[in-house]
Structure 1
Amino acid sequence: MSTLRFHAVKASLKREPIKINEEKRRSEIFGENVFNEASMRQYLTKTALNSVLEAIEKGTKIDRIVADHISTGMKEWAISKGATHYTHWFQPLTGATAEKHDAFFETIGDGLAIEKFGGNQLVQQEPDASSFPNGGIRNTFEARGYTAWDPTSPAFIYDKTLCIPTVFVSYTGEALDFKTPLLRALQAVDNAAVAVCKYFDKNVKKVNASLGWEQEYFLIDSALALSRPDIQLTGRTVFGHSPAKGQQLDDHYFGSIPARAMAYMRDLEHESMLLGIPVKTRHNEVAPNQFELAPIFEEANLAVDHNSLLMDIMQKIAKRHNFTVLMHEKPFAGVNGSGKHNNWSLSTNTGVNLLSPGKTPMSNLQFLTFFVNTIKAVQTHEELIRAAIASASNDHRLGANEAPPAIISVFIGAQLTKVLNELETVTKGKLSPKEKTDLKLNVVGKIPEILLDNTDRNRTSSFAFTGNKFEFRAVGSTANCAKPMTVLNTVVAKQLMDFKEEVDALIEDKGMKKDDAIFNVLREYIKTSKAILFEGNGYSEDWEKEAKKRGLSNNKTTPQALKIKKAKSTIALFDSLGVMNDVESMARYEIELEDYIYHIQIESRVVGDLARNHIIPTAIRYQNTLIENVQGLKGIYGDQFKTYAKAQLGLIELISEHIEAINTAVTDMTEARKTANKHDDLEQKAEDYCETVKPHFDVIRYHCDKLEILVDDEVWPLTKYRELLFTK
């Protein structure tokens, strides 16, 4: 074992679990560091409190004078919690969170100072926007950008800093973040869903989209992670031979949580409770050293903020426990990667889950309406939904054994499939009294008994109905949930608007009764969206062929998947609903192409560096040792030495072949990268990186991994998989 590896493993083995103080119940500390309604009632005037609550519930604007009162109360609360600074906490298009801290401290002359935080500082700030991705919205010399308070997501304190969730926009008003389009999409689906709900309940005034994410991740000892340059620079291992034991025994999944991992989880959950993140579930995942945590479902905007915050604090808390958290979708070859399933539903202000069957024909008709419209939305916009989860890192995972394929399909289970098939057979036009009775009794009336675990779990489906929600399983573990949630809520909003227009036309133009009109439109949707429904094995080659026959896209790479984002229909969709204008849409297309290019470029450089500066020199040194051994045998046995040096000579030849193959492939990869870099056109550049640079990774890896099992373990420079995955 190399000296670096030896010390890294030795340090890891010495780690003792950190003891976590959990004297208080979680219900007692939940939201303790959040400026929630309980805190606001204590620190705000009645007028200020009502203003915030109305902004949250109705979307009304907060007067600047009232904002001064709110900021005063927020400051006093924060200082009472030990906070010394404040920051506008936002989510730029880097995929990470961003913050610029300012102290409450202000001088007032004569050597005196006060703690100051006014309404202006609360409502709006001006961070430098030039160094964040903007897709051409802003020039570098035009740096002005604004963060603006989002009162629907409560302020919180972390690390003695008052963090105020905000949107981030350019000087000209275009969104430069993930939150702004998400808020607009949530407003669009709210308006569209409320309008449809009026068919069933006139009391519905608001519909909230809910989100429950499931965060998968790996925990690797920090000393071991630091010994791997590829983990440090790319978040994954670009080389590494599979260990003798991986996940094939299925003994890690749901197994006893290791002591150090448990200590980390307890610390993370404690911090999450203080920050109002309602984490509930924790368990071992399939791969060694892989884990998952999941919260109670929340309103989508708040859930997105909480996931972004959690990913940040996961890394910070990991350092206390001498861990490195790997959230890359595929950090290790040969074992499961990590996803972030997005469980999505719609609920009314009257407390009804619109994707949950009820006990009456009317409530079940409402369920069918939203259920079928969601399926129809996915059918119509399947390419856009695929694009919403596209990234260089997720390309490694999609279609592998633990993740859905790049083909978007909807799984609803055998019983609901039967229900839709029955509904499809209803006669076109006005329903007869018998059909109405049969439909309500035989189809709609059956749904309550389907509710309890009415579908099996299909791990191969990218979009599965799971009883009272849809689970978007294809989202990657590093993703900001806002991106897929913006797309999903937008396409569902558009579909609901189209549905209402069609139903109203049948009522007004054809004189149909409401129920008849709804049934007729739903029946046609069921017919036209059947291609997206699939109950079988999404990993199979047969499904790939079948999907092609059905006209479904199979965009396996990010450059392919992203093309739909520049389509006129996509730009018109977002623009028509006020989610993003054409400038914002095209900016995101450019940013995501650039992000892909830079990720592959960095990985290419890391692959070349490790191959030529670490692995080849090590292989040559070991080869020289073998040559010296052969020469020694020749000195002893003379012409008979080949009989005794057969194995060594074979190893020398194999090592030479692998070294030559690696060197040639690295040279070819470098030349391909140089050619790709000459393109000014981002699309062409991304395609070149995908098609001419990236393929060399597998070739180089193959030969490097072969050398790993040929070269003496004592001199191999990189920490091996068996050490990374099985050192507790």
Structure 2
Amino acid sequence: MSELRWKAIQVAQSRAIPEVEIPSGKVSDYYRSNTFTDEVMKELLTAESYEKVSQAIRSGENIEGKVADEVAAAMKTWAISKGATHYTHWFQPLTGGTAEKHDSFFDVAGDGQAIEKFKGSALVQQEPDASSFPSGGLRATFEARGYTAWNPSTPAFILYNRAGSGTLCIPSVFFSYSGELLDAKSPLINSTACLDKAATSVAKIFDEKVTRVTATCGIEQEYFLIDKALYLSRPDLVMCGRTVFGHSLAKGQQLEDHYFGSIPSRVNAFMVDFEFEALKLGIPLRTRHNEVAPGQFEVAPTFEEVNVASDHNILLMDVMKKVASKHNFQVLFHEKPFAGINGSGKHNNWSVSTDTGVNLLSPSDDPNRKLMFITFLVNVIKAVYDHADMLRATVATASNEHRLGANEAPPAIMSIFLGSTMTRVLEELENKENFDIAIGENAYVKLGINKIPSILLDNTDRNRTSPFAFTGNKFEFRAVGSLANSATPMMVLNTIVAKQLEDFKKAYDAAIAKEGDSNKEGVILQILKDYYKASKNILFEGNGYSKEWEEEAARRGLSNIKDVPEALKAYISPKTIEVFEAMKVLNKRELHSRYEVRLENFIKKIQIESRVIGDLAQNHVVSTAVKYQTRLAETAKSLVDLGLKEEADPIINIIKTISYRVKVITENVKLMTDARKKANNQADVHETARIYSSEVKPYFDIIRRQVDKLELMIDDQDWPLTKYRELLYVR
């Protein structure tokens, strides 16, 4: 066994479980204690300033300078009292993660005395270097000026480092000197505003009291957890986030004994620790459990407003990584870090609610509520049908490509699962003149077990193979990858639904103007019938993993875009540009920039993986195989010299097989490198991405197959790469 692999296993096996400092009292005593909450702001601001800030947050208006100064002073007082020494504008550039530049509260006065200073101007705006972040051609390298601006709709918070000092983090948006949006958050904010406007106008048809509609989201986060020493022993995990080689486990997930099983003690300590930190930041975590694959786990929060939920999820990922380091773990958010077992997703559970307390996607048998529910349900279906390719584009990444379409995750075909009850309701809507069907009745099942009461059933089953499934009172977008920033898929979903609701309202107003108010219900039902007939091809209740569904989807005219560069073209389609410009979420240049950024990200990810594959194959695997082959040759020669030719034949066959596999690896690494050079020599980024996808990436599996076969042939003591059984089962 290689020295590095052996030492990594020894270190991992000798880990002690760290002490977890448990906060005293109930969760409610420390929940949001590291967050600049509305209550803290109310306590520290004058009543007049507090009201102005609250109004600005509700309306999206600017906060005047005098009030900003007062808020800044209050934030500084609160943050310093909590041990913060620095502040930063916390924003989400188009890298997929977050960014921050820390500035100290400390300053020197004119008389040389040290003071703590934080003005309203520093709160409202900062200027990080925009040239160093991806812009997709919106900014030239020499055009460095960009701005971050305080986003008061998400509360500020404090993050602490290992030394115990804290940094006040101010959630912000990021834009260029000429005003283009350079981040993931700004378009999400725009999309929630346009969804509010469009959905409120439709909701008012049914209830005049509605003045605001809010998109909500609950984001389930799957992840793998391995020991830090084992992680560092695998260069591919360090460089790519996934293992490019590794033979399948003899015992993987086939016994299904890991799912919802007893959480290992060391893992549980990590979970408890990061949950405490998350709760202090106001992230309302409620659920933790083992997932299907060995070494895989999941955490899920309570539903929140979609802007806050998106921020909290990406903040949670950061917190998890930091706490994992303290526990000598490495969190893997890659969608497919290990071959042969399930990958990880980030299920976005999305719904819309009114300020009167009604979930617009919650079924009801109240006549008015029922029609309102059906209206919103059908409009969401129509929006997803019309813009399925754009939704697909939001989850198209180099890492998620390994997961989508496999027998473990939603396929690349965008389809909607409704369940038998809701399907029956919409069929009734389409086929009958009088729409009068119960949709809110509760169903019960009797188990026939003594002392076990009847069990309340939901109005729909669940379909894990559907990328976009209705799950009772919300839609679950299951195709989102575990590495993703949810801001982008939620921004697109908000926007397309807002546009569809706007179109519905125009059709409704035109029909009412023609027919009058007396036939309001008939007008609505006729529009919904037309929408359902036009979009019902996207509804599918069966197994989304099956070959039969691929064939059926093709007959229905649904897209099945498996290739990332091809999927990303939806960003720049005329239909997408028309919708996003009409809704004032992103303009044509900003959509093109995101297309370019995501293409470049795909290219770089595949380029890095290709280089790592070449390095490991040649410098780790082939060199080990040749050395092992030499030892076998010496053994075979000794047997032949002793006159034991027959006994030497099996060894000679092994030598021949190793030689063949080494030859295939070496030849294909060379071909892969040549293809990579060809891709890199293209002037056009789109052509570069195409070559990486169609000519470089296919070599990955060819090389991997031979390497993984060698892993089973070469002496375990010689194999240089930490094996799957060690990565996933050593605790």
Aligned counterparts of 1:633 and 1:42: Cα–Cα separation in 2 = 88
Match status 1:480 vs 2:473: no
Match status 1:128 vs 2:129: yes
| Pairwise CA distance, 1:425 | 1.5
Aligned counterparts of 2:212 and 2:319: Cα–Cα separation in 1 = 33
- State the match for 1:152 in structure 2: 153
Amino acid at match of 2:49: A
Are the counterparts in 1 of residues 679 and 691 from structure 2 also a CA contact under 8 Å? yes
Aligned counterparts of 1:345 and 1:216: Cα–Cα separation in 2 = 21
Aligned counterparts of 2:390 and 2:42: Cα–Cα separation in 1 = 43
Deviations 1:19-40 (A, max 9, x none): 2122332121100000001211
Aligned counterparts of 1:407 and 1:491: Cα–Cα separation in 2 = 18
- State the match for 1:489 in structure 2: 494
Are the counterparts in 2 of residues 2 and 713 from structure 1 also a CA contact under 8 Å? no
- State the match for 1:708 in structure 2: 711
Alignment of 1:29-108 (within 5 A): 29-108=30-109
Q: Which moved more, 1:116-125 or 1:623-632?
A: 623-632
Supply the RMSD in Å over aligned alpha carbons.
1.1
Aligned counterparts of 2:61 and 2:460: Cα–Cα separation in 1 = 41
Aligned counterpart in structure 1 of residue 516 of structure 2, from 505, 511, 515: 511
| Pairwise CA distance, 1:622 | 0.4
| Pairwise CA distance, 1:96 | 1.0
Identity %: 58
Which secondary structure does the structure 1 equivalent of 2:107 belong to?
strand
Aligned counterparts of 1:244 and 1:520: Cα–Cα separation in 2 = 57
- State the match for 1:215 in structure 2: 221
Which secondary structure does the structure 2 equivalent of 1:344 belong to?
strand
Are the counterparts in 2 of residues 194 and 205 from structure 1 also a CA contact under 8 Å? yes
Aligned counterparts of 1:220 and 1:350: Cα–Cα separation in 2 = 46
| Pairwise CA distance, 1:426 | 3.4
Deviations 1:199-245 (A, max 9, x none): 01111111110010000000010000000000000000000001211
Aligned counterparts of 2:249 and 2:599: Cα–Cα separation in 1 = 35
Alignment of 1:545-556 (within 5 A): 545-556=551-562
Which secondary structure does the structure 1 equivalent of 2:114 belong to?
strand
Are the counterparts in 2 of residues 131 and 140 from structure 1 also a CA contact under 8 Å? yes
Alignment of 1:602-641 (within 5 A): 602-637=608-643, 641=644
| Pairwise CA distance, 1:375 | 0.6
- State the match for 1:526 in structure 2: 532
Alignment of 1:40-439 (within 5 A): 40-159=41-160, 160-427=166-433, 435=434, 439=435
- State the match for 1:464 in structure 2: 469
- State the match for 2:453 in structure 1: none
Are the counterparts in 2 of residues 412 and 465 from structure 1 also a CA contact under 8 Å? yes
TM-score (norm 1): 0.97
Deviations 1:408-447 (A, max 9, x none): 00000011111100111234xxxxxxx3xxx2xx32x433
Aligned counterparts of 1:449 and 1:516: Cα–Cα separation in 2 = 27
Aligned counterparts of 2:83 and 2:608: Cα–Cα separation in 1 = 41
Alignment of 1:2-21 (within 5 A): 2-21=2-21
Amino acid at match of 1:108: A
Aligned counterparts of 1:113 and 1:359: Cα–Cα separation in 2 = 67
Question: What are structure 1's unaligned runs of at least 5 residues?
Answer: 428-434
Deviations 1:466-512 (A, max 9, x none): 00000000000000000100110000000000001111111002336
Amino acid at match of 2:248: S
Amino acid at match of 1:690: S
Aligned counterparts of 1:130 and 1:61: Cα–Cα separation in 2 = 27
Are the counterparts in 2 of residues 126 and 145 from structure 1 also a CA contact under 8 Å? yes
Match status 1:648 vs 2:651: yes
Aligned counterparts of 1:675 and 1:305: Cα–Cα separation in 2 = 40
Aligned counterparts of 1:59 and 1:207: Cα–Cα separation in 2 = 15
Q: Which moved more, 1:563-572 or 1:717-726?
A: 563-572
Are the counterparts in 1 of residues 442 and 458 from structure 2 also a CA contact under 8 Å? no
- State the match for 2:163 in structure 1: none
| Pairwise CA distance, 1:448 | 4.0
Aligned counterparts of 2:521 and 2:234: Cα–Cα separation in 1 = 63
Are the counterparts in 1 of residues 240 and 608 from structure 2 also a CA contact under 8 Å? yes
Aligned counterparts of 2:236 and 2:222: Cα–Cα separation in 1 = 20
Match status 1:565 vs 2:568: no
Aligned counterparts of 1:584 and 1:380: Cα–Cα separation in 2 = 21
TM-score (norm 2): 0.96
Which secondary structure does the structure 1 equivalent of 2:558 belong to?
coil
Are the counterparts in 1 of residues 422 and 439 from structure 2 also a CA contact under 8 Å? no
Aligned length: 712
